[in-house]
Structure formats: structure tokens, C-alpha cells
Chains A and B, each alone.
Chain A
Amino acid sequence: MTSTTSGDAGSSAVRDLKSSDRGAVVDAGFRWLAFSAAVTILVVLGLIAWASVNRAWPAFAQEGIRFVTSSRWAPSADSFGALTMVYGTVVVSTIALLSAVPVSIGIALFTAEVAPRRLQTIIVFVIDLLAAVPSVVYGLWGILFVAPNLTGVYGWLSEVFGGWPVIGPLFAGGAGSGRSFMTAGLILALMVTPIITSVSREVLATVPQGEKDAALALGATRWEMIRGAVLPHSFGGMVGATMLGLGRAMGETIAVALVIGSSYQITSHLFASGSAMPATIALEWGESSGVHRSALIGLGVVLFLATVVVNSLARTVVTRAERRMRGA
């Protein structure tokens, strides 16, 4: 039917559906509005990269590759090598993941395979609350409660393991003030546990029920069922969940800024104070200017690139793992 049709009973309805009436204009407008909202997201991410690199340029130009290979960070001497902070970020994230991943996978397995329904809701609620606590509150608790209370434990560990071969250097050197790589890593572990747990739960939910039933029917205990049917299926997804946790741990600022102790050093001693990239930005921002501020923005750029790479990889891994499982 064409737009010139007229004279029969259906014509008014037909005219309403023509592309030139008011409804169509509104529809196009709404579509355009929604489209521009979607474009905004792309623009914001693009702007972050472009504008920040632009402002960080003075520092990058001055330091070149030394920005990430030199460990001399001395704002007063105009020298900006961020290696100590890169090192701090790596150490703290490693401690966080080593403690958080087993715990998170344990909780996820417990909710998915063991706990009765009522208990499941309670566990999920507790994990939600853990995720809801603002990071600055973790920091407050860390600096005023955890750090002073852990010095005793650190001192004991230092005495007992300090002289051991291989792992000795991690602990030798006394307890320090409690504001250290270790404390920061442990606080971070609490903060990344919710995200690793919830992604792992999503992954576990995609394990085919038939395979679990088959394992049980063959006489497997629950643990053997988990080991034989659940874990092989969800391994890829768990790797992705861990990487999402890593992305979160690398970027966490305030809690780390409060408990890491802010000194620029590279040491194997876990109870020594150090610094991390995001924490340094927050702590030095107020008193910075000129190249120093560019260097801090530069730290932001390095951090941005690192988290984008880690998160993109993680998303790809999780999506692929879930798709493969659905296909199975």
C-alpha cells in the first residue's frame, strides 16, 4: 500500500503508519536520544585516554622510559621514576589475590553446591554488604584497628621465619609500624573478595546439572563431584574472575593510601612500608604542581592502561568460558 491510497475505510489507519506523521518524528527523536546516550559512553572513555595523556605529556617527555624504570621519585629534585609504585602495586595486588582467590572460590562453591537455599540468601547478603562498605571505611578500620593490632603477629612471624632460607627475606626485619605492604594486601583481599565471589558464582551456575548428577550417580562424594565435574568446567571462568579481582585491586586507592605507609622503596620485606600508584596520586595531589602534577596524571595513565588491558582480557575469558559451557 502506498501513501497515496485514499477513499477506503482503512485509509486513516494507513496514514497513521506513514513515515511522515508526528509519531514517526517522535520515534526518530527518541531513537536519536537513546543513540546519543550510548555514544556519550564511548566519548567519555575516549576523552579519558586522550585528555589525560595530553596533560601527562610534560612528565613523559622529561622522563621518557625512565618514568617506569627508574626508582627515584623526588619531586623536589624534579625526578620522577615510578618504579617503586609499580612494584608496590604488584606486591599488594599479589598478596590480595593469593588470600582472596581461595576464600572467594570456597564461598562460591559453598553457596552453589553445599548450602541450603535459606543459607544461600544469607551468604549472598553478607557478601553484598562486604561490597557495600566504602573503601575509605576499610582504610579507616585498617589504619586505626588492623595495623596496630597486627604488629604483634608481624613481630612473631618475623622472629620465627626471618632466618629461613628462600622465604626468610619476606619476613626478616621486624614488625614495623603495621602500615605495610602486608596490611594493605590483606585489606585489599577483603575488598576484592565480593567481586571474585560473585563472578565465580555466575560461572558455577552454568555448570550443567546433568554432569553433576552423573558424578553423584557414579557414587562420587560431594567433593569428588566438585573436583571431577564442577571445577574442570568452571576453571576458565574462575581465571576470568581472578583477573577482574586483579583489576579492582590495582586501582584501589584510598584504603591502600591509608595503610601502606607511603615510603618509596623496593624491598622484599613484606612488613615494610611502601607506596602504590593510585595511592600516590591521592596522597600527593594536593601539594603538587607543574611537572610533579603531570607525573601524577601520568601515573593515572599507566594505571588506566593496565586496568583496561586486565579487564578486557578478563571479560573475554569469562564470556568465552560461559559461551563454551552453554554450547556443551
Chain B
Amino acid sequence: MTSRHPSIQTAPLVQTDPSGKPYSLTAHLSPRRRMADFAATTVMVASFFAAAVPLVLIIGYVFTKGGRVVDMAFLTESIPNSYRRVGPGMGPAVVGTLLITGAASLMAIPLGVLGAVYLHEYGPKRRFARVVRFTTDVMTGVPSVVMGVFVYVVWVLRFRSQTGFAGALALACLMLPIVVRTTEEMLKLVPAELRQASTALGARTWRTTLTVVLPAALPGITSGAMLAVARAAGETAPIILVTGLTFQTNANLFEGNNTTLAAQIFRNASQPFDGAQARAYGAAFTLIVLVFIFTIVARLISSRFNRMRR
């Protein structure tokens, strides 16, 4: 930490020896205190491994089991209509995942960004904004299966058909609060001076927002949106409630049943047949690769963004 005034030197908080290491404060500790300190550190390290080891196991398991199954034919061919049959086919689920998640993103991201713009640029202190902010927090916690039930009740029952679009609606409802909250956090990081400068040049709020604030926050918003997309792509419960099931590729979101990779993993994982289980592994491998790419790219963007800001 540097002082604001160059003439005032701030003393380092921990005294260091000439080599820069802190003077050992622990050299003359009682064995009991030293043991307690050591034990606490060990427990902390162990708790990290308690989380990291299962992660490695899951990834290793899915990659070894699923990597063998996935090839071009697996990604494009239709799904066999019997669990017993061995062999490829997750094409309809790949197409369904991309279309449904894509449609959900097209609905949720613009709406979420606009909502956040309202919250932060127009009324950060208003009572209404506080209510909306609290609602988004609550909505983040609504279980995905409840969102599925909701879309079933208000959409599927009304139009009497399970479609890919219904799935997209449910995913959009799940993504919306995440996009709103991450975008608002990013808007908070845009310096007020930029807005003031733009206003001083005569720009109105909408122009300032569109040409100054949003571009400045864009990397952060992108990374938040990508995390939301990754979350949505792996959602299963709402999909199995509202999109139905198909074995053939259905590129029409508004008509006919659809399916996704996540829904197929769920259907096939509980079957006792090798063919079905192999397809579940293959689908899990495909899904995990998709989701990790989105997550990692999002993190890279946000870490570069943070470095730029520093």
C-alpha cells in the first residue's frame, strides 16, 4: 500500500529481516499453541482436497468413459429408440441443447442487461429498485424444477404442447436473475467520471448508457452472461418437464417435442443396459466440455478485464 503523500513513508506492518521474510514470531511458542496452529492449517488444506479430489474423480471418470464413445457419428446420428441397443446417436440432443440454450440466451440476456441498466442507471436508490433487487436475489434461489413447473403451468397447459420453446422459456427464467445481478455489479465498476463527462458533453442518459457505460462494462457483462449460459445448458429438471422427448432431430423450437444432452443423460443413466449407459457417458462428456469451455472463457475474459482495470 502506498501513501497518498510521497513524503510520508508508511511503515511495513510486519517487521522483516534483511532478506524480506517476516521475523519468526513462532520460534518460542509453546508446543500446544504451535500444534494448534499446525493442526488448523492442516485441516484447511485437507478441506481443499476434500473438494478437489471428487472434482478430479468426476472429470476423470466422465472423460475416460465418455471420451471413448464420442465421435462424429455420436454427435450427429439419431438416438436409438431402445435403451438396449448399443451404438451412437445423440444428434437430436446436441441440436436441442444448442437451440434451446441459444433461444433462452436471446431472451434472457437483453432483458437482463436492460433490467440492470434500469436498476443502476435510473433508480439505484429508489424503493422500486430495491424491491426488484431483492426479487432477483430470491429468484436466483428458486429451484430449477419449480421454474419447470411454472412454465408448464403458464405455457404448456395453455398451448397444449411440449416444445423446445417452452424449455427455452424455463431456462430464460433461470438465467434472468443471474444476468441482472452480474450486469449490475459490472455497471457499478464503471467510474462515475465517465458518465459525468458524457453528460457534460450534452449526451442524454440513454446515449451515455449505450455509448459510454455499456461498452466500458462489456467484458464483465459478457463473462457474466457466459456463466449464465453454461449454467442453463446443464439444466435438466425444467427440460424433462416441459419439452417432452424425441429421438429424431427437431430444429423447430415451436412445434413438436425436443430434447437436450442433460435430459438424455438423466434418462439413460438410470438404465441397467450398457448401450444406454455408454450414451449417457458420451452425452455427459459432450456437455461437460461445452460447459467448461464457456466457464473458462468467461473467467479468462473477466480476469483480463480486472487486470485492465487495475
Contacts and interface: CB of A to CB of B under 8 A. Distances in A.
Chains A and B belong together in one complex = yes
A213 B25 CA distance: 13
B36 A136 contact: no
Contacts of A213: 13-14
B118 A145 contact: no
* Contact-residue bracket for chain A: 35 or more
B115 A110 contact: no
A34 B132 contact: no
Contacts of A244: 141
B53 to A, nearest CB: 10
Interface string A116-134: 0000000101111110111
A27 B145 contact: no
A246 to B, nearest CB: 10
Interface in A108-153: 109-110, 114, 123, 125-130, 132-141, 143-145
A282 B265 contact: no
A223 B206 contact: no
Interface stretch (A42-50, A63-71, A74-82, A154-162): A42-50
B212 interface: no
Nearest to A248: B141
Contacts of A224: 33, 36-37
Interface residues of B, number: 96
A31 B206 contact: yes
A98 interface: no
A106 B132 contact: no
Given A134-B288, A222-B37, A41 B265 contact: no
Contacts of B277: 144
B259 interface: no
Interface string B22-49: 0001100100011011011101111110
Contacts of A204: none
A114 B135 CA distance: 36
A141 B114 contact: no
Given A107-B51, A251-B141, A303-B143, A24 B204 contact: yes
B132 A38 contact: yes
Nearest to B295: A132
A134 B235 contact: yes
B121 A251 contact: no
Contact of A254 (B61, B205, B233, B236): B236
Contacts of A26: 204, 206
Given A106-B43, A136-B266, A137-B284, A278 B206 contact: no
A278 B145 CA distance: 7
Contacts of B235: 134
A221 B33 contact: yes
B118 A38 contact: yes
Nearest to B303: A121
Given A30-B205, A137-B58, A251-B144, A315 B153 contact: no
B48 A41 contact: no
A37 B114 contact: yes
Contact of B205 (A13, A31, A315): A31
A136 B143 contact: no
Given A41-B132, A110-B45, A253-B143, A216 B25 contact: yes
A250 interface: yes
Interface stretch (B72-80, B172-180, B189-197, B248-256): B172-180
A278 B136 CA distance: 21
8 contacts: A31-B205, A41-B115, A41-B135, A107-B51, A134-B234, A137-B234, A303-B143, A307-B143
Interface of B: 13-14, 25-26, 29, 33-34, 36-37, 39-41, 43-48, 50-52, 54-55, 57-59, 61-62, 111-112, 114-115, 117-119, 121-122, 128-129, 131-132, 134-147, 149-150, 152-154, 157, 173, 176-177, 180, 202, 204-207, 209-210, 230-231, 233-237, 240-241, 262, 265-266, 269-270, 277, 280-281, 284, 287-288, 291-292, 295, 299
Q: Which 7 A-B pairs have the closest CB atoms?
A: A251-B143, A134-B234, A106-B47, A311-B141, A34-B118, A30-B206, A37-B114
Given A251-B141, A311-B138, 16 more contacts: A34-B114, A40-B115, A41-B132, A47-B154, A109-B44, A114-B44, A128-B299, A129-B295, A133-B288, A135-B236, A137-B284, A216-B25, A223-B37, A244-B141, A297-B153, A304-B143
